[in-house]
Structure 1
Amino acid sequence: MTGAYHILPTDDIDSDDKHSQPHPSHSRFSRTVVVLLAIVLVETAAFATHVLYSRKPTSSATKLYSPAQDVVEDIVQFYAGGFGDDKTSFQIPSSPGLDGAWDALYQHGISRIPKSVAAQIPNTTSPIPGDPGFYIAELDVYHELHCLNTIRKALDPVYYPEWDITKVQYARDHISHCVEWIRSSIMCHSDISVVVWQWDAQANYTVPKTNVPHTCRNFDAIQEWARENSLEGDFDFTVHVEDNLEVYQEKWR
C-alpha cells in the first residue's frame, strides 16, 4: 500500500549506511563547529545570568502607590554645612521669621484627592465631610517636616515653653514619637551618597568633607503638587461619613 510503513531489506540498510558515513575531514569540521557553538552558548548563558541577577527585581512592597508619584523627579543637590557662614534660613535663633519659614514648608501638607485616586493607595482613607467624592490624605514628607519642626522647638524651651519636655508630658510624648519617626524615615530612605575624607593643609589634619552631591527628589515639584491638591478649609474630625471605598491593592495595617 502506498505510504505504508515496511521493513527494508538488510542489504539495503547496509548500503545506505555506507553512503551515510561522513568523510573523516568533514567529521573533524563538524566537531569543531559543535564545540564553538557550545562555547558561544555557555558564554551567552553566563552573560544572561549575570544581567538577570545584577538587576534585582523590585519587590511589590516597593511599588506602593502614591498620588504624587507622577511628579517625582531626581535632581542632584548639595546640603548646606550648617556651620559658620554656611547656614540656611531654617536654623536658629528662634524668631517669628524662623517659625514662618518652617510653617511654609508644610502649610499645604493635607491634601484633597478624588475617589479614583484614593482607591489606589495602600490603605483606605476617610471621605471629606461635605465634599462628596473627595478624600483626605497627607504625603508623609509633610508629617516628617512637622515632626522635625517640633523637635527644633523642643531644643529651645525658653522660647517655646509648651515644648519643654522636662515639664510638659504632651511635649515629651510627642517629641519621643517624632524622634522615632524621623529615625525610621532616615533608615527607610537610606541615603547612600558618599561622605569623603580629605587632607586639610591648614589644619594639618584629615577631615570629613560633607559638602558632597546627593541624589534627591525635587521637593519643589512635590510642593507644587501639594499646592494644587491642598485641602482648603478645616476638616471636621468629629463627623463620620459612611463610605464604600475599596482599595485596589492589598491592605496594609
Structure 2
Amino acid sequence: MDSYHASESGSRQEASEKLLSDSSSQNDSHNHIELKRARRSRWYSRWIIALPGFFAFLTIYSLALVSLVKDSACLAQSNSAGQLIYTPVRDAIVKEKKTIDVSVLHGNPLKGPPSPELDEAWSRLLMNANVRVSAEDLEKAGVESIPLNDGSGKYYAILDVYHQLHCLKYIRHYMYKDIYDDIQPWTPTHVDHCIDSIRQNLMCNADTAMMGFRWVNDSLEPKPNFRGQHECVNWESIEEWASERSFNPDDQANLRHPSAA
C-alpha cells in the first residue's frame, strides 16, 4: 500500500514537472516571438523615417543624371555639327561639293597680273564686307562692337572670311607695289599680320580633302594634282546674307566717331 502511494506520488511529481517544463517552453517561445516582433517594429520605424530621405536622394540623383546626359548629348550634337560658337549667318549657309582647280596655268577672274578687270573683280568680292547686326547677335556670339548712327539700332560687324579676303588683296597689292599706291611705311607689318591671320584661319578651318599625285613627262619627281573635289560653303549663300545687311562705313550717316557728334 505504501509502495502504491509512493508510486502515485512520484507520478504526480513527474507530471507536475513536465507541466512546468511545457509552460516554461511556451513562455520562452512567446518571449522569442515578442522579441522578433519588437525588432521588426523598430526596423519598420527606422525604414519609414529614412524613406523620405532616400526618395529625396534618389530624386536629386536622377535629376543630376538626366542633366548630365542631356548636356553630354547637346555637346556631342554641337561638336558633330561644328556649332561651337554662334554666328547669325549659320542658318543661311549652304554646303556643296565643288571641283576646285588651282593649277598653275588655270586662270580665273581673280587671278593674274594687275588689270582694271581684275581690280574690279576683287572690289566686288569685298563690297558686302561691312554688315549691320543686332545687339542680340553680338551677345550670343560674345562679341563687342560699336553702334551705327543710322537709327537702325544695329551694330557694326564683319564676317571673318571677308577679313581674310581683305588680307589676300593687301598681299596681292604688296606683290605689285610698283603699281598700287596704297603701300605705306607700315605695310610690311600689315602684310606680316595678314600672312599670320590667313595661316591661323587655314589651320582653324582645315580642308581635309585629299590631293593625289601624278607623273608628268619624264620628270623623276611626282607632281601634285591641283584639281579635286572639296566640301565647300556655297559663296552665293554668304553673299546673299551679307548683301541684305551691308552698309557703307565711309558714310558718316552710318558711322561716325563720338567725338565728331
Q: Please report the TM-score for the alignment, with normalisation by the length of structure 2.
A: 0.63
Q: Distance in 1 between matches of 2:119 and 2:96?
A: 27
Partner of 1:81: 102
1:121-167 CA distances to partner (integer Å, 9 max, x unpaired)? 2212221124242111110111111110010111111111432xxxx
Q: Distance in 2 between matches of 1:228 and 1:104?
A: 15
Q: 1:126 to 1:187 in 2, by over 3 A?
A: same
RMSD of aligned C-alpha atoms? 2.8
Partner of 2:110: 90
Q: Distance in 2 between matches of 1:186 and 1:103?
A: 23
- Is 1:111 the equivalent of 2:99? no
CA contact (8 A) 1:115 1:135 kept: yes
CA contact (8 A) 1:127 1:136 kept: yes
1:21-75 CA distances to partner (integer Å, 9 max, x unpaired)? xxxxxxxxxxxxxxxxxxxxxxxxxxxxxxx9xx797299952111101011211
Q: 1:114 to 1:56 in 2, by over 3 A?
A: closer
The one-letter code sitting in structure 1 at the alignment partner of 2:98 is: Q
- Is 1:131 the equivalent of 2:151? yes
Q: Distance in 2 between matches of 1:186 and 1:116?
A: 29
Instruction: Select the structure of larger CA radius of gyration.
Output: 2
Q: Which has the larger share of helix? A: 2
Q: Distance in 2 between matches of 1:149 and 1:114?
A: 29
- Residue 212 of structure 1 aligns to a residue in which SS? strand
CA contact (8 A) 1:129 1:239 kept: no
Q: Distance in 2 between matches of 1:162 and 1:127?
A: 29
Q: Which runs of 5+ in 2 are unaligned?
A: 1-31, 34-72
CA contact (8 A) 2:101 2:228 kept: no
- Residue 243 of structure 2 aligns to a residue in which SS? helix
Q: Distance in 1 between matches of 2:182 and 2:116?
A: 16
Count of residues in correspondence between the two structures: 183
Partner of 1:213: 229
Q: 1:204 to 1:174 in 2, by over 3 A?
A: closer
Q: Distance in 2 between matches of 1:61 and 1:191?
A: 14
- Residue 169 of structure 1 aligns to a residue in which SS? coil
**Which among 171, 180, 185 is matched to residue 187 of structure 2?**
171
Q: 1:207 to 1:67 in 2, by over 3 A?
A: same
**Which among 244, 247, 251 is matched to residue 231 of structure 1?**
247
Partner of 1:39: none
Q: Which runs of 5+ in 1 are unaligned?
A: 1-5, 8-51, 241-253
CA contact (8 A) 2:211 2:224 kept: yes
CA contact (8 A) 1:75 1:215 kept: yes
- Residue 222 of structure 1 aligns to a residue in which SS? helix
Q: Distance in 1 between matches of 2:190 and 2:98?
A: 31
Q: Please report the TM-score for the alignment, with normalisation by the length of structure 1.
A: 0.64
